[in-house]
C-alpha cells in the first residue's frame, strides 16, 4: 500500500467555536474545507489535522503536540486564554494538558534534554 498522507481527526459539536480555537492554537486559519462540516490544517509541524462536526463524539478525542520548550508553550497559550494543567515530568521529558472547547484532550510534550534510552524497559 502506498500512503500519501495521514490526518489526525477530532470531533466537535460547534464548528465555529472549534475553528476559532484551533486557528489561535496553530496561529493560522484552516487550509481548506473539503466538504461541509469538515475543516483541515495541512502540515502543522509535519502533521495534518481535521476537525469535523460530530456532536455525539465531540470531546472524546486525543492529540499530542510536541513542543521544544514547555515554558514557552505555556506563555503562548496564556496569551490566547488557555491554561496548562496536569504537568508532570518523566523519562521522556515533560507533559501537560489542555482541552479544546469540546473537551478533546491535547497533551503537550517537551522532549528530554538528553536522548531517550529506547532499550530501557
Structurally, the chain folds into a number of domains equal to 1
Position 119 scores a pLDDT of: 67
Position 90 scores a pLDDT of: 83
How would residue 121 be classed by pLDDT, with cut points 50, 70 and 90? low
| Residue 69 lies inside a defined structural domain of this protein | yes
Grid coordinates given for 71: 515554558
Q: Is the pLDDT of residue 96 over 80?
A: yes
Position 115 scores a pLDDT of: 66
The side-by-side arrangement of strands in the sheet containing 32-35 is 7-12, 47-53, 38-44, 32-35
Helix (H, G, I), strand (E, B) or coil at 59: coil
State how far the Cα of 42 lies from the Cα of 68, in Å rounded to an integer: 20
How would residue 105 be classed by pLDDT, with cut points 50, 70 and 90? very high
Kindly report the CATH number assigned to the domain that includes residue 25.
Answer: 3.10.180.10
pLDDT tens digits, 47-83:
999 999 999 999 999 999 999 999 999 999 999 999 9
Q: What is the pTM of this model?
A: 0.89
| Residue 121 lies inside a defined structural domain of this protein | no
Amino acid at each position: 500500500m502506498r500512503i500519501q498522507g495521514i490526518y489526525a481527526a477530532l470531533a466537535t459539536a460547534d464548528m465555529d467555536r472549534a475553528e476559532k480555537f484551533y486557528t489561535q492554537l496553530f496561529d493560522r486559519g484552516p487550509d481548506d474545507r473539503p466538504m461541509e462540516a469538515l475543516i483541515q490544517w495541512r502540515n502543522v509541524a509535519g502533521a495534518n489535522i481535521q476537525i469535523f462536526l460530530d456532536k455525539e463524539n465531540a470531546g472524546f478525542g486525543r492529540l499530542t503536540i510536541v513542543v521544544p520548550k514547555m515554558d514557552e508553550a505555556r506563555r503562548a497559550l496564556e496569551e490566547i486564554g488557555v491554561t496548562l494543567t496536569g504537568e508532570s515530568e518523566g523519562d521522556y521529558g515533560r507533559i501537560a494538558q489542555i482541552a479544546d472547547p469540546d473537551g478533546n484532550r491535547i497533551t503537550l510534550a517537551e522532549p528530554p534534554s538528553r536522548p531517550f534510552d529506547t532499550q530501557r524497559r
